[in-house]
Homo-oligomer: A and B are copies of this chain.
Amino acid sequence: MRTFRLVIACPDRVGIVAKVSNFLATYNGWITEASHHSDNQNGWFFMRHEIRADSLPFDLAGFRQAFAPIASEFAMEWQVTDSAQKKRVVLMASRESHCLADLLHRWHSNELDCDIPCVISNHDDLRSMVEWHGIAFHHVPVDPQNKQLAFAEVSRLIETSQADVIVLARYMQILPQQLCQAFAKRVINIHHSFLPSFVGAKPYHQASLRGVKLIGATCHYVTEELDAGPIIEQDVARVTHRDSIEEMVRLGKDVEKRVLARGLRLHLEDRVLVHDNKTVLFD
């Protein structure tokens, strides 16, 4: 069922819901899902509606035009998207295949509603797996002495791909600030620890050293500060003294891939709203 998704964040005050509901009712919009959240601490209001596209008398452009005065009146940050327009997701990976294979299989079995124009990797190992799915694979090696060169090529590929979202599926390289800014709130990373524990490299080694009883993974938007962006989703798995670092890595893979898949899915369905470096999830 094709829907329009109207996503709004604005200062909280009386009458927002009524105004928006009225607008939708005026045009006989059939609301299939509605979610609100008032953040009492910072006085901000969040709202998401899914409306059957065939119940409305206009297309996206018409919707935008009709809704603009209301948005203006309430100083809304807002967007409306069409579920029929699939987001274009560029996947970036390195040598580890678990997250990439998981996302590709979900896409292939129609569980992830997006297009994947290409996969970019700093190693060539996963080419065959990607190409079997009928997806272009670009090998862009990163020379530690000249990262600029590689990232110029990465940027070019992303632009050519007309990407809406970039997913770092265990890419293991830090993206240049310029790219992060150009794709603010649209670069999704999976960190292999329960942030903010074990920021940076080798989190499972850190976890083993500290003797934690649960390991975790964190899906977050990438910002300039390493591993400090808004968290979309997290989960954990139990470990014991019997689990070596290698076992932790293995158990962690399962957590990583399901946390990343959930986070990406939420993003693709326009369910993640960001404010103050935190996320509101309308799931």
With A97-B109, A240-B281 as given contacts, are A194 and B214 in contact (CB-CB < 8 Å)?
yes
Q: Taking chain A's interface residues, is the majority helix, strand, or loop, or is none over half, making it mixed?
A: mixed
Contact A214 B197, beta carbon cutoff 8 Å: no
Residue of B nearest to A231 (CB): B211
Contact B241 A278, beta carbon cutoff 8 Å: yes
Contact B17 A34, beta carbon cutoff 8 Å: yes
A 1-41 contacts with B by CB, 8 A: 14-15, 17-22, 24-26, 28-41
- Partner of A241 from the list B14, B33, B98, B280 (CB cut-off 8 Å) is B280
For A111, the chain B residues whose CB sits under 8 A away are 250, 253
A 183-220 contacts with B by CB, 8 A: 194-198, 210-214, 216
Flag A216-259 by CB within 8 Å of B: 1 or 0 each. Answer: 10000000000000111111100011101000001001100010
For A38, the chain B residues whose CB sits under 8 A away are 31-33
Interface size on A, residues (CB 8 A): 69
Flag A96-125 by CB within 8 Å of B: 1 or 0 each. Answer: 011001100100110100000000000000
A81 at the interface (CB under 8 A from B): no
Contact A36 B41, beta carbon cutoff 8 Å: no
| Cβ of A261 to closest chain B Cβ, rounded Å | 8
In Å, the complex CA distance between A236 and B211 comes to: 16
Residue of B nearest to A26 (CB): B18
Contact A105 B97, beta carbon cutoff 8 Å: yes
Contact A212 B195, beta carbon cutoff 8 Å: yes
Contact A214 B241, beta carbon cutoff 8 Å: no
In Å, the complex CA distance between A246 and B278 comes to: 17
Contact A36 B34, beta carbon cutoff 8 Å: yes
Contact B279 A211, beta carbon cutoff 8 Å: yes
A 27-64 contacts with B by CB, 8 A: 28-41, 46, 55
In Å, the complex CA distance between A196 and B207 comes to: 9
A277 at the interface (CB under 8 A from B): yes
In Å, the complex CA distance between A37 and B277 comes to: 29
A-B contact pairs, 11 of them (CB 8 A): A17-B25, A18-B18, A18-B26, A33-B36, A33-B38, A37-B242, A194-B197, A196-B210, A211-B278, A211-B279, A214-B236
10 additional A-B pairs beyond A196-B212, A213-B234, beta carbons within 8 Å, are A14-B25, A14-B28, A17-B31, A31-B38, A35-B35, A97-B105, A196-B210, A211-B230, A214-B216, A236-B236
